[in-house]
Structure 1
């Protein structure tokens, strides 16, 4: 634990809270899922969806760090243990609240739930039980690429070559040189964040290099370009305008902060208690959206909106801690024993060679 980057835990929770505020004070009522309007707050909270962009960059950094030196099997097992227990609880809670309280707001079917349990519901084009699950499909495709790296064998040269190839494919897709189907793997909409996060891990692990010093700014340029285009689409969906300048400044700030982490400048800010903050992030992200919208719909007219807003966030954080404490922590070692049982150590038997 002494080498854990606690500041990344803090950044993960910050990113999650940005998304929570985006949903509760902007997209909920702007999208017709909540009667409680936060007009003044939405001026800034409408940019909260950029917390997902930070998530993706942190994921590029942390997942490569986690996979380095592991076998493909070890990496796959670690991802299953990390993702699925909290995800299954999130589906169960969201489904229960939707069925019991969500009539007229959301609906869910048995087949939809079954498909969502796999986390691959996007393959047969089954709707997500909760809107936030779309990012998990992006993460799963990223993990498959990391699995390829683990299978090939990770070295500094191979990873950097892979990052250049991925960025090249991203630009080729954007230019229309490659067919759109290739984008299922390339993920040109967000590839620059994953690539930059991985490149910054290389900076953290091996120190500065010319390749990283070129690769990260190229990713930044493409990130700004795509983020402004994405903001236009979000603005059309909710009938609001986004400032290209603000979008560009936020994206540049994300890159700057992650670069400072890679350069170990933020090390003095790393506090062990931030590990708990980081542990809340994933279950908080999974639980907050549809459940929160339904709560706003059912009691929004009877409670002061700010009391409801901050009370709901506090409840969601408490629920996230409960999922971490009573689901993720107990199930992780059990799942690991099932998926990767320990082999009995080889014992030397005199005269008969090795026995187990």
Structure 2
């Protein structure tokens, strides 16, 4: 677990930036282009249509910080840390989205009790049950990535084992892409996004141990595959919404994401880090969970009576405020209790709990 002095505040800022890119993608492009919002942002969509690439940055950051979090932990400690990190805000997101959908979103979205119950597990993709909110698909990708990290914690993490694992994963990715493995193998390999997780982990190894030949080869190979797959993914998104994507812009965004994360790994960005960015990082996950369907319902209800730019600014600010409330009144108080419960530890004395709570608050990568 990183100490206070090891905190990479700049990653908190990058995470919120990625989340805001996704928010604007939904609010000013995919919402109206996909028929979920009546409010059209035609001019803004020329650039906001690229906002879905914030997810690519999320995955790259995730490879870095999840390996950082797991390093030196036992399998149980890692599982507890992930459960504490993911589930409280997620359950609130499901509850809020379900209530808004049932009360205000009839005709726009639909949820059923079995669907909600399945979504509470975060494994609804296994029985192929629809997500309560469209953004939850990324959580299934993250969960499968966590299972691979769990395997590393069980084997025992060393520099050699991690690097061997990354090369193996990259090789399996190319094997899936070449059709040398059955399609079912991609359930684990995740060839569509594996290069981001692999590169993020490799960049953490660079951060922790310094540059070596393996990292110098691995990251550029991942970048090359990321560019190729991102171009193909952009074509699919464009076909879905009836727009064209510039391969040059997509390539530039992916290269920029890799470049920025490389600078983070090389500690070049430390001078930009500010402690207040911890708050930005804390808002990211609940903002991501809450914004999509709830926002579309608000746009649908108020789009005809409120000027679109006023409505856009108001909805974004309200979602940021709601994200803060979830962090402040759900994640922060519930996390230490849930951690003790899952760890099988007795409650700490009041002073010890206070100190532990402060330390946990400074280590959101845990």
How does the TM-score come out when normalised to structure 1?
A: 0.96
The runs of 5 or more residues in structure 1 that have no matched partner are: 345-356
**Secondary structure, aligned partner of 2:268:** coil
The match for 2:244 is: 241
Match among 44, 55, 59 for residue 58 of structure 2: 55
Is residue 9 of structure 1 aligned with residue 43 of structure 2? no
Deviation of 1:341 after TM superposition, in Å, equals 2.6
Q: Give the distance between the partners of 2:216 and 2:171, measured in 1 at CA.
A: 16
Match among 87, 98, 102 for residue 90 of structure 2: 87
Q: Is the 8 A contact 2:223 2:258 kept in 1?
A: yes
Deviation of 1:2 after TM superposition, in Å, equals 1.6
Q: Give the distance between the partners of 2:27 and 2:20, measured in 1 at CA.
A: 10
Is residue 203 of structure 1 aligned with residue 168 of structure 2? no
Structure (1 or 2) with the larger CA radius of gyration: 1
The match for 2:78 is: 75
Is residue 319 of structure 1 aligned with residue 328 of structure 2? no
1:88-127 equivalences in 2 (<5 Å): 88-127=91-130
**Secondary structure, aligned partner of 1:177:** coil
**Secondary structure, aligned partner of 1:150:** helix
Is residue 267 of structure 1 aligned with residue 270 of structure 2? yes
**Secondary structure, aligned partner of 1:2:** helix
- Measured against aligned partners, the alpha-carbon deviations of 1:284-336 in whole angstroms (never above 9, x if no partner) come to 00000000000000110100000000110000000000000000000001001
Q: Give the distance between the partners of 1:336 and 1:181, measured in 2 at CA.
A: 34
The match for 2:37 is: 34
The match for 1:353 is: none
1:127-142 equivalences in 2 (<5 Å): 127-142=130-145
Q: Give the distance between the partners of 2:106 and 2:335, measured in 1 at CA.
A: 35
Q: Give the distance between the partners of 1:71 and 1:230, measured in 2 at CA.
A: 36
The match for 1:351 is: none
Match among 143, 148, 153 for residue 145 of structure 1: 148
Task: Give the count of matched residue pairs.
Answer: 344
How does the TM-score come out when normalised to structure 2?
A: 0.93
Q: Give the distance between the partners of 1:193 and 1:176, measured in 2 at CA.
A: 20
Deviation of 1:343 after TM superposition, in Å, equals 7.3
Q: Give the distance between the partners of 2:340 and 2:227, measured in 1 at CA.
A: 44
Match among 39, 64, 68 for residue 67 of structure 2: 64
**Secondary structure, aligned partner of 2:240:** helix
Instruction: Name segments (4+ residues, structure 1) moved above 3 Å.
Output: none
Q: Give the distance between the partners of 2:344 and 2:35, measured in 1 at CA.
A: 49
The runs of 5 or more residues in structure 2 that have no matched partner are: 348-366
* Root-mean-square deviation (Å): 0.8
The match for 1:297 is: 300
Q: Is the 8 A contact 2:340 2:346 kept in 1?
A: no
Q: Give the distance between the partners of 1:276 and 1:56, measured in 2 at CA.
A: 20
**Secondary structure, aligned partner of 2:6:** coil
Q: Give the distance between the partners of 2:297 and 2:107, measured in 1 at CA.
A: 9
Q: Is the 8 A contact 2:93 2:286 kept in 1?
A: yes
Q: Give the distance between the partners of 1:301 and 1:34, measured in 2 at CA.
A: 11
